[in-house]
Amino acid sequence: MAVAELTSPAASFAHNYNNANRLRSSQLYAPSSSCLSSDHFRSRYRSTVLPRITCSVNQVQNSAPVQVEAPKDKAECYGVFCLTYDLKAEEETKTWKKLINIAVSGAAGMISNHLLFKLASGEVFGPDQPIALRLLGSERSIQALEGVAMELEDSLFPLLREVNIGIDAYEVFQDAEWALLIGAKPRGPGIERADLLDINGQIFAEQGKALNAVASPNVKVMVVGNPCNTNALICLKNAPKIPAKNFHALTRLDENRAKCQLALKAGVFYDKVSNVTIWGNHSTTQVPDFLNAKIDGMPVKEVIKDDKWLEHEFTEKVQKRGGALIQKWGRSSAASTAVSIVDAIKSLVTPTPEGDWFSSGVYTSGNPYGIAEDIVFSMPCRSKGDGDYELVKEIQFDDYLRSRIAKTEAELLAEKRCVAHLTGEGIAYCDLPEDTMLPGEM
Catalytic residue among 40, 114, 282, 312: 282
At closest approach, how far in Å is the CB of 256 from ligand NAD?
10
Nearer to ligand NAD, 101 or 138 (CB): 138
Residues 6+ apart with CB under 8 A from 102: 119, 131, 132, 133, 134, 176, 177, 178, 179, 180
For 29, 79, 81, 85, 251, the CA distances from 74, given in Å and listed in that order, are 21, 11, 10, 14, 48
The amino acid at residue 330 is: G
Using rule CB under 6 A, residue 210 touches ligand NAD: no
Cis-peptide, bond into residue 51, ω within 30° of zero: no
CB of 130 or CB of 201, closer to ligand NAD: 201
CB-nearest residue to ligand NAD:
109
313 secondary structure, DSSP code: I
Using rule CB under 6 A, residue 338 touches ligand NAD: no
Cβ closer to ligand NAD: 144 or 391?
144
182 contributes a contact to ligand NAD by CB under 6 A: yes
Q: Is 234 in the site for ligand NAD (CB under 6 A)?
A: no
Contact 228, 341 (CB under 8 A): no
Distance of alpha carbon 335 from the chain centroid: 13
Find the binding residues for ligand NAD in span 275-334 (CB under 6 A).
Answer: 282, 332-334
State the binding string over 75-114 for ligand NAD (x if CB under 6 A, else -).
------------------------------xx-xxxx---
Pairwise CA distance, residues 342 & 339, whole Å: 5
* Min dist. Cβ of residue 344 to ligand NAD (A): 9
User: Does the annotation count 248 as an active-site position?
Assistant: no
C-beta separation of 214 from 323 below 8 A: no
Query: How many residues form the binding site for ligand NAD (CB under 6 A)?
Result: 28
Instruction: Give min distance, CB of 67 to ligand NAD, in A.
Output: 32
Point out which span in 29-37, 41-49, 138-146, 209-217 binds ligand NAD (CB under 6 A). Answer: 138-146
Least spacing, CB of residue 77 vs ligand NAD, in Å: 30
Q: Does residue 256 bind ligand NAD (CB under 6 A)? A: no
Q: Select 51 or 361, whichever has its Cβ closest to ligand NAD.
A: 361
Both ends of the chain: CA-CA distance in Å?
A: 41
Residues that bind ligand NAD (CB under 6 A): 105-106, 108-111, 136-138, 140-141, 182-186, 203, 224-226, 228, 250, 253, 282, 332-334, 337
Residues labelled as active-site residues: 282
